[in-house]
Amino acid sequence: MQLVDVREALLQVGENDNDAAIASETTSLAEKELSDFEFLVLTVIWDYRETDYSKAIVEAKEIAIEMGINPIFPQKRLIERKKRFDESSSMEEVSFTPKENFRVNYFLYIVDQAISSLETRVEQFKEFDKVFGFLFPHNLRGIEDKYCHRLENALKFEERSDINVDELYTELKLFETLETNEFSNLIDVLKFLERT
């Protein structure tokens, strides 16, 4: 990661640019954003998504020291929240160190969002597989017409379809008589169907 060089370049632009707005903006970026330890941790996490939190902290500390930035999380002002009617005054408030607060409220939040996004995509791929999965060469032996009907329904627009289910089913049944090893993927199957 070249953050040290980026910061140095921004400072040079800030010192040498004739446009006051550009000079002010680049100096501000170099002195505020690139001089903030939390920003460095976020950058490292973003850049090294495969590493865990501890490794990201170590990497960000090394960069901070090289840049002359104090490698500590700033202490945030605690915000008092109102207790709900069902909470007793004896309930303990959880307080985190700045580092732990960052881990819980930012790092773990991002990890949770990534997991949720992946789960959503997996579900979408499962739905696509229900519609198109039967077209893969290894699935064509013993094909049933219900798969062709499902494809037709998925691709219908205003109750019209470009797919003739009976013709598609008949063409796909041909694969039972062919050596399916010559078809390595879905595109090969579709090209074959287009030729027949």
Q: Is the whole model's pTM more than 0.75, yes or no?
A: no
Does residue 32 belong to any structural domain of this protein? yes
pLDDT at 87 over 80: no
Residue 160 sits at φ, ψ, to 5 deg, of: -115, 150
pLDDT above 90 as % of the chain: 3
Structurally, the chain folds into a number of domains equal to: 2
Asked if residue 191 and residue 109 are part of one domain, the reply reads: no
Asked if residue 53 and residue 14 are part of one domain, the reply reads: yes
Asked if residue 142 and residue 60 are part of one domain, the reply reads: no
Asked if residue 159 and residue 98 are part of one domain, the reply reads: no
Does residue 16 belong to any structural domain of this protein? yes
Q: How many CB atoms lie within 10 A of CB 174?
A: 12
Asked if residue 159 and residue 100 are part of one domain, the reply reads: no
Are 63 and 44 a contacting pair, CB within 8 Å? yes
Give the whole-angstrom CA distance, residue 45 versus residue 168: 49
Q: Which domain holds residue 41?
A: 3-74+94-113
Does residue 37 belong to any structural domain of this protein? yes
Exposed / middle / buried, residue 145 (Cβ in 10 Å: 0-12, 13-18, 19+): middle
Does residue 129 belong to any structural domain of this protein? no
Exposed / middle / buried, residue 176 (Cβ in 10 Å: 0-12, 13-18, 19+): exposed
pLDDT at 50 over 70: no
pLDDT mean over 101-129:
84
